[in-house]
């Protein structure tokens, strides 16, 4: 499949992958390029019959895949990594077309996921020996959980897919992936490529809407759901999975606070603050969503952030020199614009609005807002767009309480020139991860997950890999 910016209409639509075969459907999903607001491709819209076929294939595959030893499975995963890496340019272009991010960042997203798979494929699955004496032997082993259903979000289509594929396959589980209907193309193509490496049924990809997701959640042939998305959808999945007691890993939304302490060197952190909040056009679950700064430092921090923002070029991700793409979809674009308009109507000072390219596209200007308080929806809720509210404080205990006053607690950050002091503050902040002088920074060897209503379980690290297993205790009387 050869793709150029001049011949986008020539893209061959990828198909569903079921039991090692590429399948099409009569029903289709139109996929919009957010930089043009036009449909650039249509992909299959899978129904329950396709899900049933995929589950049956996965259950057949499970009987064989789990019997291979760990080194064999890891070797196959490494072959998959090499195959995907050989096709990274094609996949990155598809990500840019459907998601909007600049081409280099799309390639970086995929490469990051592949490095994670390489790391997962280097780890042993631990066996814990509780007792080994003259009376008895007790060992805790890990067994595959079964068939995994993975549901991914639209902000990082392939990174999130790879985060789920690697741990599932390495621990002996077949996986059925359902990408967001807003960004299904690259994941479907990934599924096609994977069929050239993996046995039939081990990795299958179905594109479809919310009905397909609900069917996966309730399907008795799926043993675990791993989901990345909103807390609203996560609650629905948790309710739907209850009847079959599925295992769950839920990485949900965040309204991450950043607390700047009064000893910072503003010039040295301004760029990191900016990109911690507005990387990927602000569409990052763990991105910095509300920034708390000392009142006396507010003017200099606001000016420094505006200076960084002024140098950011917004545009079509296929064009050279673009730093930031559009908001991914029309509904999210309207939501973000609504938050800003509401804050302005409440008296907020929208003191910086960046330039947007002429013509179509869901291009929301980079927007910095001050003069707001914690009651404004822009602050209370996850905006998920290129907007950052800046709030002031005078009392450290008070700002920590304000930062913790949220039902969401995925990440947070503390910024200071004094590491010890920053850590003391970080230990009082409620979040799955608290960064110091960075935000967000994710690594495949470090667990990532939320607390409160930001999720269940973790992804990445050996802890995330083991979430795809069940305990199996061996207890021998001697």
- Cα Dmax for the chain: 78
Extract the tokens encoding 46: 């899978």
Q: CA nearest 333: which of 323, 345, 343, 341?
A: 341
- What are the beta bridge partners of residue 177? 150, 205
Quote the CA–CA distance of 102 and 366 in Å, as a whole number: 16
- What is the helix (H) or strand (E) element at residue 28, kind and residue range? strand 28-33
Quote the CA–CA distance of 26 and 9 in Å, as a whole number: 20
B/e letters for 318-354, b = 16+ CB within 10 Å, e = fewer, are beeebbbbbbbbeebbebbbebbeebbeeebebebeb
251 carries an active-site annotation: yes
Extract the tokens encoding 118: 């390489």
Terminal Cα distance for the chain, rounded: 62
- What is the helix (H) or strand (E) element at residue 335, kind and residue range? helix 330-345
Question: Looking at 251, 302, 459, 467, which residue is catalytic?
Answer: 251
Query: Residue 123 gets which letter from DSSP?
Result: P
Quote the CA–CA distance of 23 and 17 in Å, as a whole number: 6
- What is the helix (H) or strand (E) element at residue 38, kind and residue range? strand 38-44
Task: State the catalytic residues.
Answer: 251
């Amino acid at each position: 499949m050869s793709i150029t910016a001049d011949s986008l209409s020539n893209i061959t639509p990828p198909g569903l992958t079921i039991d090692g075969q590429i399948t099409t459907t009569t029903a289709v999903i139109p996929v919009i390029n957010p930089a043009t607001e036009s449909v650039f491709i249509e992909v299959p819209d899978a129904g329950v019959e396709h899900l049933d076929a995929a589950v049956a294939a996965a259950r057949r595959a499970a009987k064989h895949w789990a019997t291979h030893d760990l080194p064999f499975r890891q070797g196959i995963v490494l072959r998959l990594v090499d195959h995907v890496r050989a096709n990274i340019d094609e996949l990155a272009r598809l990500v840019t077309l459907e998601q909007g991010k600049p081409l280099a960042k799309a390639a970086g997203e995929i490469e990051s996921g592949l490095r994670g798979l390489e790391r997962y494929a280097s780890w042993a699955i631990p066996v814990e020996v509780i007792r080994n004496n003259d009376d008895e032997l007790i060992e805790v082993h890990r067994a595959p959980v079964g068939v995994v259903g993975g549901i991914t979000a639209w902000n990082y289509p392939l990174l999130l897919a790879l985060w789920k594929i690697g741990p599932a396959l390495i621990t002996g589980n077949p996986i059925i992936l359902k990408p967001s209907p807003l960004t299904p193309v690259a994941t479907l193509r990934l599924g096609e490529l994977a069929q050239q490496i993996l046995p039939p049924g081990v990795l299958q990809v179905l594109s479809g809407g919310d009905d397909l997701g609900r069917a996966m959640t309730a399907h008795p042939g799926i043993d675990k759901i791993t989901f990345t998305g909103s807390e609203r959808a996560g609650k629905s999945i948790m309710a739907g999975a209850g009847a079959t007691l599925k295992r769950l890993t839920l990485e949900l939304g965040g309204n991450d606070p950043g607390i700047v302490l009064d000893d910072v060197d503003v010039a040295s952190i301004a760029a990191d603050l900016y990109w911690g909040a507005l990387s990927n056009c602000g569409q990052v679950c763990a991105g910095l969503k509300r920034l708390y700064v000392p009142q006396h430092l507010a003017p200099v921090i606001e000016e420094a952030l505006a200076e960084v923002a002024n140098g950011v070029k917004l545009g079509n991700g296929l064009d050279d020199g673009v730093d930031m793409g559009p908001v991914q979809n029309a509904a999210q674009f309207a939501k973000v614009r609504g938050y800003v308009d509401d804050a302005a109507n409440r008296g907020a000072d929208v003191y910086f609005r960046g330039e947007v390219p002429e013509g179509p596209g869901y291009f929301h200007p980079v927007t910095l807002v001050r003069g707001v308080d914690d009651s404004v929806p822009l602050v209370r809720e996850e905006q998920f767009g290129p907007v950052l509210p800046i709030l002031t404080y005078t009392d450290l205990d008070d700002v920590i309480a304000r930062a913790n006053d949220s039902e969401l607690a995925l990440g947070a950050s503390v910024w200071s020139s004094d590491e010890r002091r920053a850590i003391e503050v970080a230990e009082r902040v409620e979040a799955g991860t608290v960064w110091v002088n960075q935000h967000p920074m994710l690594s495949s060897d470090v667990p990532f997950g939320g607390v409160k209503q930001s999720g269940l379980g973790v992804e990445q690290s050996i802890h995330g890999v083991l979430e795809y297993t069940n305990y199996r205790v061996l207890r021998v009387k001697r």
